[in-house]
Structure 1
C-alpha cells in the first residue's frame, strides 16, 4: 500500500525577542550550577541538555506566545544568566543581565504529521544537539510549531546549567497561566544568586560537609561498580531506550504500597534496588537517585538547576521484599538529606578515596523518578500498542554515561518507565525481561510477602555469571586475572602474580622487577591507577600490597613460590614503604 510522505513544514523564520528592565547582578555559582557545568563541559550535549514540549491552547496568537516568553525571561534571573569563563577553563561566577535578546524559531505547517505530539518531541530532542555556549547563549532554544499560522506546540531544549526538570515544569505552568490571562504573583523562591549566598553561609557549608562525609563512607566501603562482571568489558557507551507502559504494573504498585504501608515511590525504588542487586549478584545496591532538592518553600519554585545526585546504598541481605521496602524508606531519606554538596570538593574526595582504595567509582546505576512532577505532553499523549500488557517499545540509540539508567515518568494510571541498559550487559530480551520482571515482582508483592531468594523464579531475571577466578575483595567483585593483566600492562610487561592476602585484607601483587628497572610500590600503584578504566566494568581493583622481587620463580602460577622469594621492597603504594635489607 502506498504511503504519502510526511508533510513538509514551511521555511522557518527567526524572531528576535528583546527584554529590558531587570536587575544586573554578579556572584558565585550555586552548588547545583557548578555540578551541572562540570557535566556540561564533559558529557555529550544530547545527554546532558534537557527538552520539553508545551501544548499551546487553541487560538493563541504567535505574538501572545512570544510575549509570554519575554515575561518569563524578565521574571526569572536564571534565564538571564550567563557564565563567563576563559577558553579551557570552567566558570566560577554567574552574571545576570538587565536586558538582552533571545530568539524564537517559528515553524509553520499546512498540516502536521500523523502524530503531532511525537513530531513536536522530535523537534525538541533535536534541539538538544550542540553544547550550549555558557558565556553568551540564552539557556532556552525555542521553536513555536504553528498550523496555518496558529501556535500548537512550543518545543524547546534547555541548558542544564540553568534548568532542571522541575524548573521546566515551573516555566511550563507559568507560560500557560500567562496565555490564559492570569497575573502571576511575585516569585517567592530564591534566584540563583540568593541561593549561592545561602550555600556560602555557615549553615550551608555545614550541610555540604555532612553530605561529603556520607558519600565518603559509601565510596570507601561499598561496591565501586554494580556490574563488575566479564560481560561489562565490551561496552561502547551507547544504549537504546526501552519504554514500559503497564496498567497492571500501576495497579500492582498501588496495591503493594497499600498492603506494606509505604509510599508507592518507596516500593518502586525498593523493587528497582532488589532486582538490580539480584541481577548484578551484589549484597547491596548502590544507585544514584537524582533528587530535585526542592523541599523548602524558598527554593520549591526556583528556576534554577537544583537537582543533584542522592547516593543510595541499600543492603539487600534481608529475608523478604516487605522488609526491604521498610528499610528503603529510611535509607532513601538519609540519601536525600545528603544530596546538596560542593561538587568540586565531592570529586576531589572521590579521587582521593578511590586512589587510597585502588578503584574507580563507576556511578553505573541511576534511577530517576520524575513521576511527581506535573505531567508533560509527552508522558500523557496517546501511544501505540496500548492494548499489549505490558507494552514495551524500543527507541533509538543514545549516549549512555552509565551502565543502567531508568526514568519513571508515571506511576498512575499506568507505570511508565524508560530504561537504557548497556547492551554489553543486557541483550534486548534481557532488557525487556528486566522490566517485565519488575512488574512481576510488584504483582507478587501486591498480595503477599515475597522472599528475596525467590527472585530468579519469580521474575525470570538471572544473576550475573562470574567464573571461578572472581572473588570479593573489600566489598567489590574482582577478577585477579584481570588485575594481573592490568598491572602487567601498567609496569611495562614485567612478570606479575596476584595472590590473596592470608589475612583476607585484599590482594597482594608480586612484581619481578629484574635488574634493569627500579619500580617502587608508589610508582607501581600510580601506574596502575592510571591504567584502570574510568568507567569500571572489568573487575579490577588495586592490590592492598605490592611486593617487589628480583626474578620470578620457576612455578609462576604458585603463590607459595612467589612468597618464598627474597623481597626487595614492599608497601601499599599509598603511604610510607617498608624496605627489606639484603
Structure 2
C-alpha cells in the first residue's frame, strides 16, 4: 500500500534573483540533455537498521528530517523558471509543503520495496518551475520505518555539496539534527556574483581565459562524419591504479594530475597536436564559504598542457601546474565567458576531464606496495566495457570514477569524430603510458 504524507517546512527567508554561476553551469548541462535530463538526477536509499543509524524508527523521525533539511537548505526549496527574456531565474520559497511517499511492506521485502521506490522517484525528469527539487519516500514495516529514500535534482547541488547534504540528512535520521550555521546558500552566491565584486572576479578569470584560448584550435577532430553518434567505454585497470599511485608519490603531485597528464599525452598524439586543451570540472570547494555549501558551485576550468614530443614524466609536472591555474580561474560569469569566446572566433572546447573521486588529491593505493611484479601481474585483469549513449553534451568527456583499487576511466565520445577504434586506443593508451612510466621508475630505483 502507498500513501502520501504532507510535510510542512519553514525557512529563514524567501526571494527571487538570477542564478548563481554554479547554477547556470548545471542549468546548461540540464538543457543540453533534454529530454534525457533525468539522467542527471541523484538518489540514495538509507537502510536505517542495516546501517546502524536507528532502530524502531517512527514515521515522525522521517517527516521531521524532511522538514528540517527543507528549512535549512534553500536550494531544496528553490524552483527555476524562465523570465520574459528567456533567462532562468530562481525563486526561493520561505515555507511550503512537500509530499513524502510512504510504502508499506513485509519485513523480507522491505529492501526490494525501497529500491523500487528509489527508481520511481529518480527516473522522471523534474518539473523545474513547478516541483520542489527533492523527492522523498520511506518504507514502513508495521509501525516502524526501515528505509528512507531521497532523490534530488542536480540543480540542488553537485558532487562536492552532496556530502554536506547527506550529513545533515543522517543527523536528522539519528535524531540529532545539526544546528551549526550553513555555508553560503546559492541565493547569497547569486547576489554576490551579480555585484561589482562578482564582476571583478569574472574580469580576473576572463583575462586568464583570453590568454589560454589563444592556444585552442578551431577544430580538434576534423569534420564530423555525419550526425553526432555517442558511445561510452569504461576501462577498469588495477595495474593503472598502482602505476598512478607510484607516479604521484615520485613526482609529489596529486593522482588526478598524473591521470590528466596521461590523457593529455594520448589525446595530443591521437589528434596530431603539440598541446592538449581540456576543460576540467572544478568543484570550487576550496574557496571560502563553499566547503559545506549545499548548492552547485562547480564550473569549467581551462587547462592547456604542452606535450610536444615529450614522454609522460615531464608532462606530469606541466599538468599539475596547468590544472592549478585552471582551478584558480574557474569562478566566473558563464554569460561573460560566452561573449569572450564569440569575440575571439571559433575555438574547439569539446574536450573535458572530470575527476569524480572525493580523494583525488591522494594516492588510491599504497605506492610502497607497488613492484614490477605486481604491475605485470595486474595487467591481465584490465577490462573494457561498452555502452551506447543516446545523447551527450561533449565530443570527448573523460571521467575518473571512484572505484577503490582500480583506475576506472569512462570516456564518452562522439563517434562521428572519434570512432570506437580511437576510443579503445585512447583508453588503453592511457593505461600503457602509466604502466610503462611506472615500470621505468621501478627499474631506475632498483
When normalised by structure 1's length, the TM-score is 0.64
Deviation at 1:326, TM superposition (A): 0.5
The equivalent position to 1:96 in structure 2, one of 59, 73, 92, is 92
Q: What corresponds to 2:413 in structure 1?
A: 421
Distance in 2 (alpha carbons) for counterparts of 1:120 and 1:266: 39
Q: State whether residues 229 and 415 of structure 2, in contact with CA within 8 Å, keep that contact through their aligned partners in structure 1.
A: no
Q: Does 1:300 align with 2:291?
A: yes
Deviation at 1:41, TM superposition (A): 4.0
The equivalent position to 1:181 in structure 2, one of 143, 156, 175, is 175
Q: What corresponds to 2:241 in structure 1?
A: 250
Distance in 1 (alpha carbons) for counterparts of 2:3 and 2:62: 15
Q: What is the RMSD computed on CA atoms of the aligned residues?
A: 3.3
Q: Does 1:57 align with 2:53?
A: no
Distance in 1 (alpha carbons) for counterparts of 2:264 and 2:113: 36
Q: What corresponds to 1:489 in structure 2?
A: none
Deviation at 1:21, TM superposition (A): 4.7
Give per-residue Cα distances to partners, 1:450-495, cap 9 Å, x unaligned: 9xxxxxxxxxxxxxxxxxxxxxxxxxxxxxxxxxxxxxxxxxxxxx
Q: State whether residues 207 and 341 of structure 1, in contact with CA within 8 Å, keep that contact through their aligned partners in structure 2.
A: yes
Q: Does 1:14 align with 2:4?
A: yes
Q: State whether residues 410 and 416 of structure 1, in contact with CA within 8 Å, keep that contact through their aligned partners in structure 2.
A: yes
Please give the secondary structure, in 1, of the residue aligned with 2:381. Answer: coil
Structure 1 unaligned segments of length 5 or more: list them: 1-10, 375-385, 451-582
Matches within 5 A, 1:103-142: 103-107=99-103, 126-127=123-124, 130=125, 132-142=126-136
Give the number of the structure with larger relative contact order, counting CA–CA contacts within 8 Å between residues 6 or more apart. Answer: 2
Q: What corresponds to 1:34 in structure 2?
A: 24
The equivalent position to 2:213 in structure 1, one of 202, 219, 238, is 219
Q: State whether residues 16 and 101 of structure 1, in contact with CA within 8 Å, keep that contact through their aligned partners in structure 2.
A: yes
Q: What corresponds to 1:78 in structure 2?
A: 75
Deviation at 1:97, TM superposition (A): 1.4
Q: What corresponds to 2:435 in structure 1?
A: 443
Q: State whether residues 199 and 205 of structure 1, in contact with CA within 8 Å, keep that contact through their aligned partners in structure 2.
A: yes
Q: Does 1:350 align with 2:350?
A: no
Please give the secondary structure, in 2, of the residue aligned with 1:17. Answer: strand
Q: What corresponds to 1:314 in structure 2?
A: 305
Q: What corresponds to 2:366 in structure 1?
A: none
Give per-residue Cα distances to partners, 1:237-270, cap 9 Å, x unaligned: 432x333333222111101111222211111111
Structure 2 unaligned segments of length 5 or more: list them: 50-54, 361-377
Q: What corresponds to 1:163 in structure 2?
A: 157
Deviation at 1:165, TM superposition (A): 1.7
Deviation at 1:362, TM superposition (A): 4.0
Deviation at 1:53, TM superposition (A): 1.9
> Aligned residue pairs: how many?
416
Distance in 2 (alpha carbons) for counterparts of 1:328 and 1:89: 39
Q: What corresponds to 2:250 in structure 1?
A: 259
Q: State whether residues 216 and 348 of structure 2, in contact with CA within 8 Å, keep that contact through their aligned partners in structure 1.
A: no
Deviation at 1:218, TM superposition (A): 3.3
The equivalent position to 2:351 in structure 1, one of 365, 378, 386, is 365
Distance in 2 (alpha carbons) for counterparts of 1:331 and 1:258: 19
Structure with more helix by fraction: 2
Give per-residue Cα distances to partners, 1:261-317, cap 9 Å, x unaligned: 221111111111111222222221111111111112411111111111011111211
When normalised by structure 2's length, the TM-score is 0.82
Q: Does 1:233 align with 2:219?
A: no
Distance in 2 (alpha carbons) for counterparts of 1:319 and 1:87: 53
Distance in 1 (alpha carbons) for counterparts of 2:331 and 2:323: 14
Q: What corresponds to 1:548 in structure 2?
A: none
